[in-house]
């Protein structure tokens, strides 16, 4: 009998497996979201994998083709967390809505501050500085005391650059958004629950504020800046959540890969 060689162990995942796994995960996630999309892959110049999401028939709320959004950024973060597991090749995946995303430029490290000039040594250090000559001053009459003035009121803080009050914007009517925002405000007031709507355009935030005007028992305000700005519904009488709706007190370390 001839001695057989031991079976070879499977090698680590190849480079092409990143695209296969990314395509499978994206198809499953977008299907669960209810927004399927056709995926277009392309190798980026920095070695990452760029993916264009062509939503069919249309993108989810808050997503515009050719522009960044919180929805696509969150999906990209989740996808890379699921792909970069121990023992698996690490290759960053970029997502774009309707277009192939371009790699983001990396910040260059700042140059260190120049070192201070060395202290003088030798004869220069031993030489004492020349005393300053006293300038003669002419005697001047004492000025009369001015009457005391009332302290000026503190100046109002300047408005932040680019900040606009949505309540002052003139926008067109949106019947569906008007009804949904008003219903959510009434629900927040009746149940005592806090709600928030994110990833909205400035015009839509203005429509929400106009729609909830007059709803008693709830205050609707805009919080945050830029892409992180959101509309928050705060009831006047908050109610505690039922115990069955509370999240279990699990250790965060259990969820680390």
pLDDT, tens only, 29-66? 988 888 899 899 988 888 888 999 998 888 888 888 88
Length of the chain: 257
Which numeric CATH code is attached to 167-241?
3.30.1370.50
pTM of the model: 0.39
CB of 96 closer than 8 Å to CB of 49: no
Of 67-76, 112-121, 229-238, the one with minimum mean pLDDT is: 112-121
pLDDT digits (tens, 9 = 90+) for 164-199: 778 888 889 899 999 999 999 999 999 999 999 988
Q: In sequence order, which ranges of 163-246 are alpha helices (DSSP H)? A: 175-191, 202-211
pLDDT digits (tens, 9 = 90+) for 107-122: 555 666 677 766 666 5
CB of 178 closer than 8 Å to CB of 211: yes
Domain boundaries of the chain, sorted by first residue: 17-97, 167-241
CB of 63 closer than 8 Å to CB of 53: no
pLDDT of residue 113: 67
Q: Distance between CA atoms of 52 and 76, rounded to whole angstroms?
A: 12
Mean pLDDT of the region 153-168: 59
| Location of structure tokens 């009434």 | 186
| Location of structure tokens 């806090």 | 194
pLDDT class for 156, splitting at 50, 70, 90?
very low
pLDDT digits (tens, 9 = 90+) for 8-22: 433 334 456 888 888
């Amino acid at each position: 009998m001839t001695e057989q060689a031991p079976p070879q162990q499977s090698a680590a995942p190849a480079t092409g497996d990143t695209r296969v796994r990314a395509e499978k995960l994206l198809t499953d996630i977008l299907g669960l979201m209810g927004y399927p999309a056709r995926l277009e892959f392309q190798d980026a110049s920095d070695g990452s994998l760029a993916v264009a999401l062509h939503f069919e028939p249309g993108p989810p709320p808050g997503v515009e083709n050719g522009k960044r959004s919180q929805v696509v950024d969150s999906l990209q973060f989740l996808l890379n967390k699921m792909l970069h597991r121990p023992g698996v090749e690490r290759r960053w995946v970029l997502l774009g809505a309707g277009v192939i995303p371009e790699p983001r430029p990396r910040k260059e490290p700042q140059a260190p501050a120049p070192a201070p000039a060395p202290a003088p040594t030798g004869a220069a250090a031993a030489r004492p500085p020349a005393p300053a000559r006293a300038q003669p001053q002419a005697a001047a009459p004492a000025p009369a005391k001015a009457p005391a003035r009332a302290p000026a009121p503190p100046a109002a803080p300047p408005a932040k650059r680019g900040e606009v009050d949505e309540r002052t914007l003139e926008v067109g009517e949106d019947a569906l958004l008007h009804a949904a925002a008003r219903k959510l405000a009434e629900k927040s007031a009746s149940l005592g629950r806090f709600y928030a709507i994110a990833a909205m355009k400035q015009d839509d935030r203005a429509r929400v504020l106009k729609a909830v005007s007059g709803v008693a028992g709830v205050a609707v305000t805009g919080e945050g800046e830029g892409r992180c700005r959101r509309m928050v519904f705060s009831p006047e009488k908050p109610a505690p959540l039922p115990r069955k709706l509370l999240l279990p007190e699990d250790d965060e370390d259990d969820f680390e890969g």
